[in-house]
Amino acid sequence: MTDSNETIVMTGATGFLGSHLMAALVQRGDRLIILGRPQGTRPLRERVDALLASLGATPKKHQVDVLEADFSDPSCGLNWHQYAGVCLKATHFLHCASDTRFSETNRLASIQTNVRSLASIIELARRSRAAYFHYVSTAYVFGAETSSCPEAPVIAARHANVYEETKAWAERDVAEECSRLGIPYTILRPSIVYGDSRTGQATRFTALYHHVRSLSAIRDIYLKEIRELGGEKARRHGIYLDADGTLHLPLRIHLPRRGSVNLIPIDYFVAAVLAVLDRPDSDTIYHLTSNRPVSMEELACYCERFLNIRGIKVHYGPAPEGFAPNPAEALFDKFVEPYRPYLSDIRNFERRHTDVATEGIDPPELTYDVFERCMAFAAGANWGR
């Protein structure tokens, strides 16, 4: 897609997935028009330039146009001159913008961002006579009780949160509107994405990072109590420092069933998306997922090794009658509750379309070395703070 006559209109370029895609497109020479919302007093252009610099991408002159937009407006918040300019230049659309919050309290905002705003961007694609509309969704549009997930539209599902629900809703709208308007489209469904498997670099630290950061914070609370106050409270709950400096931290994680966590690194996500952009198959869905999801036992071992703790135990099924969590367990449960449906996942994602489009590009396994690289980078960045 490096033809000099082609320009990609991109949304969500300041998000985790979008920023890495933007940098990769710039590095391979694509021309981009970035549409995005302002954020406080910091102009979109400044945020885009900072992200490109942090990811080592230096655009050529006039390679990246940046326009502040409002997708709740029928004209995307653009003036006549800007709108006409986009229509004149745009050949492909890559819609990454999304509200990724899970909380029900954000329902109205999620519906507005993930669903209602589609009308204006699809209309812009129609007026541009776009060759393709590419929509970044999520593999979790299938309900948590679904074991077999085809690369096909979701008919019905019981979703775990408003994010999953609105992304499934948006997929239906994209398919219906693009088909009605004669715009070829693809739907890209990534699973849970973490940092670069080769360098550890990332621009956001959520999902997998949230759990490790939570354990790190709990560990530090008890280390401080032991070192500064003698550790009496810690000992009441069986928490103590071993002679080798390892913190013994009894922490039972109760999950409803045995399953796995489907994780892919951002470098695989980017490579797979670029492959689809280069050889898209009209009106097709792609699962950008791992062939080797990890178990919670593996992740627990990785966390213990990285944080120099021991005592994490994973239990499946309901907690025993009379079970009373210790303070560390209660705190960890509170931190990870929104993510619990993804920690013992039984969903199996078909990849027939993806394997054809990404021939020779395989998702790497999450080994401890990869995990350590990513978490060390996150810790060095103070978990994004």
Per DSSP bridges, beta strands 64-68 and 31-36 are: parallel
> What stretches of the chain show up as alpha helix (H) in DSSP?
16-27, 44-54, 80-89, 107-111, 118-127, 162-181, 208-229, 232-236, 266-278, 296-307, 327-336, 352-357, 368-380
The lowest-confidence range among 13-27, 86-100, 151-165, 202-216 is: 151-165
Judgement on whether residues 219 and 169 belong to the same structural domain of the protein? no
Flag whether pLDDT at 8 surpasses 90.
yes
Distances from the Cα of 250 to the Cαs of 207, 235, 240, 254, 307, in angstroms? 23, 11, 10, 13, 14
Burial of 327 (0-12, 13-18, 19+ CB in 10 A): middle
Tally the domains of the chain: 2
- The better pLDDT of the pair 344, 190 is held by 190
Residue 77 and residue 68 in contact, taking contact as beta carbons nearer than 8 Å = yes
Residue 48 has pLDDT above 80, yes or no: yes
- Residue 141, in any domain of the structure: yes
Q: Please state, for a pLDDT cut of 90, what percent of the chain lies above it.
A: 85
pLDDT exceeds 60 at position 348? yes
Mean pLDDT of the chain: 94
Contact assessment for residue 217 and residue 226, using Cβ atoms and an 8 Å cutoff: no
Phi, psi of 289 (to 5 degrees): -135, 170
Do residue 62 and residue 172 come from a single domain?
yes
pLDDT in tens, 174-207: 999 999 999 999 999 999 999 999 999 999 999 9
Mean pLDDT of the 44-64 span: 95
Amino acid 375: pLDDT:
98
For 256-295, what is each residue's pLDDT tens digit? Answer: 889 999 999 999 999 999 999 999 999 999 999 999 999 9
Tokens read off for 313: 């135990």
Instruction: Quote the CA–CA distance of 34 and 42 in Å, as a whole number.
Output: 16
DSSP assignment letter at 60: P
Q: For residue 2, is pLDDT > 70?
A: no
Considering the domain architecture, whether residues 213 and 173 belong to the same structural domain is answered as: no
Is 276 part of any domain?
A: no
Q: Tell me the per-residue pLDDT of 97-127, one tens digit each, with 9 for 90 and over.
A: 999 998 899 999 999 999 999 999 999 999 9
Domain end marker among 190, 222, 242: 190
Q: What is the pLDDT of residue 211?
A: 93
Q: Are residues 31 and 67 in the same domain?
A: yes
Q: How confident is the model at residue 37 (pLDDT cuts 50, 70, 90)?
A: confident
Quick one: pLDDT at residue 3?
A: 59
pLDDT at position 1: 60
Query: Are 158 and 241 in a shared domain?
Result: no
Q: Which domain holds residue 249?
A: 208-259+295-342
Helix segments in 68-112, DSSP class H: 80-89, 107-111
Question: Cα–Cα distances in Å, from 236 out to 81, 162, 293, 313?
Answer: 69, 40, 37, 19
pLDDT of 376 > 90? The answer is yes
pLDDT at 319 over 70: yes
Q: What's the mean pLDDT in 60-88? A: 96
Q: Is the pLDDT of residue 377 over 70?
A: yes
Q: What does the pLDDT read at residue 38?
A: 80
- What is the SS3 assignment for 123? helix
Note whether 55 and 82 are same-domain residues.
yes
Q: What is the CATH number of the domain that holds 74?
A: 3.40.50.720
Higher pLDDT, 318 or 88: 88
Give the model's pLDDT for residue 222: 96
Tell me whether residue 365 is in a domain.
Answer: no
pLDDT at 4 over 70: no
Q: Are residues 43 and 69 in the same domain?
A: yes
* Per-residue pLDDT band at 144 (split at 50, 70, 90): confident
216 touches 379 (CB < 8 A): yes
Domain termination residue (choose one: 312, 327, 342):
342
Give the residue, 193 or 339, on which the prediction is more confident: 193
Residues 91 and 65 occupy one common structural domain: yes
pLDDT-wise least confident of 153-157, 174-178, 243-247, 324-328: 153-157
Q: Are 158 and 143 in contact (CB under 8 A)?
A: yes
Average pLDDT over residues 297-321: 94
pLDDT tier at 6 (50, 70, 90 boundaries)? confident
- pLDDT for the residue 315: 92
**Cross-strand partners of 240:** 248
On whether both 109 and 218 belong to a single domain, the answer is no
**222 and 144 fall within a common domain:** no
Question: 53 and 99 share a domain?
Answer: yes
Residues 125 and 254 in one domain: no
38 CB-near residues (< 8 Å, 6+ apart):
44, 68
Tell whether 349 is covered by a domain: no
